[in-house]
Amino acid sequence: MNSQDSSSVLQRQLLLQFGDRLRRLRKARKLSTVEMAKRVGISRTTLSAVEAGDPAPSIGTYLRVMAELGIGADLALLAGDVINPAPADSAAARSLRSAPQVQVTVSTDNTRHNTQDLQSLVLHEEAVKYVRSHPLVLREAKQTLDTWLGSGNQRSTVLWLEWKDILEQGKWSKALGRTRHAQELRQASPLTPVLPTAERMRILGEISKLKKGIVLGKESAP
> Does a structural domain hold residue 1?
no
**Residue 112: predicted pLDDT:** 46
Helix (H) / strand (E) containing 129: helix 115-133
Total count of domains within the chain = 2
| Band of residue 104 on the pLDDT scale cut at 50, 70, 90 | very low
Q: Are residues 25 and 54 in the same domain?
A: yes
Q: Are residues 86 and 128 in the same domain?
A: no
Q: Are 83 and 104 in contact (CB under 8 A)?
A: no
**Residue 109: predicted pLDDT:** 56
CATH number of the domain at 21, please.
Answer: 1.10.260.40
Q: Are residues 82 and 169 in the same domain?
A: no
Q: Are residues 179 and 93 in the same domain?
A: no
**Residue 167: predicted pLDDT:** 95
Q: Are 85 and 6 in contact (CB under 8 A)?
A: yes
Euclidean distance between CA atoms 160 and 145, whole angstroms: 7
Q: Are residues 76 and 139 in the same domain?
A: no
> Does a structural domain hold residue 222?
no
pTM of the complete model beyond 0.85: no
Domain that holds residue 59: 8-108+212-217
